[in-house]
Amino acid sequence: MAIYMQSTIELRADGIERFTETMKEVIAIVEPIGWRLVTAVMHVTGRLHTGIDLWEMEDLNTYQLGLATLRGHPRFAAIGKVLSETIERETVVLGVRAGWVPEGR
C-alpha cells in the first residue's frame, strides 16, 4: 500500500531561491531510493511563502530509508544548513490514499 507524505513548509521570504535550488538536490538524492515527488505547490493566497510537497512512497520503510539516505549523503551538512536558514516551520504528515478518490487517479 502506498504511503503519502505531505510536507507543509513555511519559508523565509529572502530564502526562497536558495530553498528551491537545495530542494532540487534533495529530490535527486531521495527519488532513486523510492520517494516520488507527486507535486509541489506554492501558496498564492493565505500565508505567502508557503509550499506544500506531496510525496509518494511504497511504505514506511521507504520513508525511513529516504531520511537515512539524505543524512548519509556527503552534501547533507550543506543541505541541512540551507534548509535550517530558509525554513521557518515545517509540518510533515503521513497518510494513505482516501477511499473517495476516483479510480484511475
Tens of pLDDT, residues 4-43:
999 999 999 999 999 999 999 999 999 999 999 999 999 9
Encode pLDDT of 54-80 as tens digits: 999 999 999 999 999 999 999 999 999
- Grid coordinates given for 104: 484511475
Q: Where are the alpha helices (DSSP H) in 53-98?
A: 60-72, 76-86
> Could you tell me which CATH class the domain 3-94 is placed in?
alpha beta
Residue with cell 530558509: 86
Q: Is 7 exposed, middle or buried (0-12, 13-18, 19+ CB in 10 A)?
A: middle
Neighbours of 45 (CB within 10 A): 5
Separation of alpha carbons 81 and 62, rounded Å: 24
With beta carbons less than 8 A apart as the criterion, state whether 97 and 4 touch: yes
pLDDT at 104: 85
pLDDT at 1: 82
